[in-house]
Amino acid sequence: MARIELNGLGHRYPGSEQYALQPQTMVWEDGGAYALLGPSGCGKTTLLNIISGLLTPSEGSVLFDGRDVTQLPPEKRNIAQVFQFPVIYDTMTVFDNLAFPLRNRKLPEPEVRSRVQEIAEILDLSGELRRRASGLSAEEKQIISLGRGLVRKDVAAVLFDEPLTVIDPHVKWLLRRQLKRIHQQLKLSLIYVTHDQIEALTFANQVVVMYEGEVVQMGTPQALFEEPAHTFVGHFIGSPGMNLLPCELNGESIRLGEQSMPLAPALAVRLAQVGKPLMLGIRPEFIRLASSGSAALDADVVRLEDLGTSKILTVTLAGKPIRIRLPEQQTVEGTRVRLDFQPERTMFYADGHRIA
């Protein structure tokens, strides 16, 4: 278990002017499950490799429980890493694969045996220990890679680099569940890199959203979903992402094209102080179809898509497309609808950052 601190940590790849990872300072508490979420090229793998020691940062430092490990190689850092595709030693049996890290550290054989069996029990691998590792399926190999990471008692953190990439979608469920179970049982710090928001949000208790080398927001899945601090977070999380509309403050209401929406007076005051162009953000889940009411806005229907368990209605409002999520059974009549934005879920942004 380790408390991980990043102090002014940044990285520029040799020969490049641009930061792959912007200098930043952060603390990750012991025993937490963290997800690094972001699109390709956002710097999440760079950050993971710096934490694991496979990459030495060009500036800043990394501390584990207060100890500076920035220059330490991975084998001295008490971390384990699971990669995108299963890395196993196919000439060995499952047992030998799991025992490998312990034997390399010269642990006595009886201890090796008991530890391997303990981990195999947790991962439901006890029956497979005698099998040759080369004949197994992708998910079994990934579980073994994971087991190899967990088998060392001194492991402070387990790092995952998009580990479910090669796994069949319907098996991903089982693996995610197992990961969560392991986290609860072993109480290790887990850091999980992914570009898939479902994986990130279901896995972590703190999600770190990254964009272009910078941490844009860190928070619980609920906070990220309900209160995105940045338009990128609103866009990236949620399928479909948050709807963003340019808007103008007009006294105590908001103007969207030709239409207006009233605002709470306190909110209107805050927005008036901003002085920059405003964007209104609202998630498809928080818009309702209203039958009437002065607060409702009119929009033109573009299309209705049936996704089996829910429906997505695309409409245009003030010339911009908006998506609304509707329950499975709902139907839409006609070409115009009235929309009701839940006020507590309506966010305002300026320059990408949240105002209120």
Q: Give, as ranges, the residues between 56 and 85 that touch another protein (CB under 8 A).
A: 73-75, 79-81, 83-85
User: What is the per-residue binding string for another protein in 247-286, x denoting contact by CB under 8 A?
Assistant: ------------------------------------x-x-
CB of 33 to another protein, least distance (A): 12
Produce one character per residue of 283-315: b if its CB has 16 or more CB atoms within 10 Å, e if not.
bbbbbebeeeeeebbebeeeeeeeeeeebbbbb
- Binding to another protein in span 305-334, by CB under 8 A: 305-310, 325, 328
Residue 52 binds to another protein (criterion: CB under 8 A): yes
CB of 327 to another protein, least distance (A): 8
How far apart (Å, rounded) are the C-alpha atoms in residues 186 and 155? Answer: 11
Identity of residue 261: M
CB of 285 to another protein, least distance (A): 5
Of positions 14, 130, 184, 294, contacts another protein by CB under 8 A? 184
How far apart (Å, rounded) are the C-alpha atoms in residues 339 and 298? Answer: 6
The answer to whether residues 192 and 199 touch, using CB atoms and an 8 Å cutoff, is yes
CB of 122 to another protein, least distance (A): 15
The answer to whether residues 84 and 162 touch, using CB atoms and an 8 Å cutoff, is yes
Whichever of 193 and 271 has its CB closer to another protein, that residue is: 193
Q: How many residues contact another protein, by CB under 8 A?
A: 71
- Binding to another protein in span 1-30, by CB under 8 A: none
* CA-to-CA separations, 343 to 229, 280, 296, 315, in angstroms, rounded: 17, 11, 11, 19
How far apart (Å, rounded) are the C-alpha atoms in residues 270 and 14? Answer: 45
Residue 54 binds to another protein (criterion: CB under 8 A): yes
Residue 180 binds to another protein (criterion: CB under 8 A): yes
Residue 240 binds to another protein (criterion: CB under 8 A): yes
Q: Which stretch binds another protein (CB under 8 A): 26-34, 210-218, 221-229, 251-259?
A: 221-229
**Tokens 């839940």 belong to residue:** 342
The answer to whether residues 230 and 352 touch, using CB atoms and an 8 Å cutoff, is yes
Residue 230 binds to another protein (criterion: CB under 8 A): no
* H-helix segments, 196-307: 197-203, 221-226, 231-236, 265-272
Whichever of 192 and 225 has its CB closer to another protein, that residue is: 225
How far apart (Å, rounded) are the C-alpha atoms in residues 219 and 237? Answer: 12
- Structure tokens, 64: 């584990």
Q: Which stretch binds another protein (CB under 8 A): 4-12, 39-47, 243-251, 348-356?
A: 39-47
Of positions 70, 117, 202, 206, contacts another protein by CB under 8 A? 202
Concatenate the DSSP letters of all residues of 149-185 into one string.
HHS-TT--EEEEESTTTTS-HHHHHHHHHHHHHHHHH
CB of 325 to another protein, least distance (A): 7
CB of 243 to another protein, least distance (A): 13
- Binding to another protein in span 108-137, by CB under 8 A: 134-135, 137
How far apart (Å, rounded) are the C-alpha atoms in residues 190 and 42? Answer: 20
Phi, psi for residue 168 in degrees, rounded to 5: -55, 140
Whichever of 29 and 90 has its CB closer to another protein, that residue is: 90
Of positions 16, 56, 91, 330, contacts another protein by CB under 8 A? 91
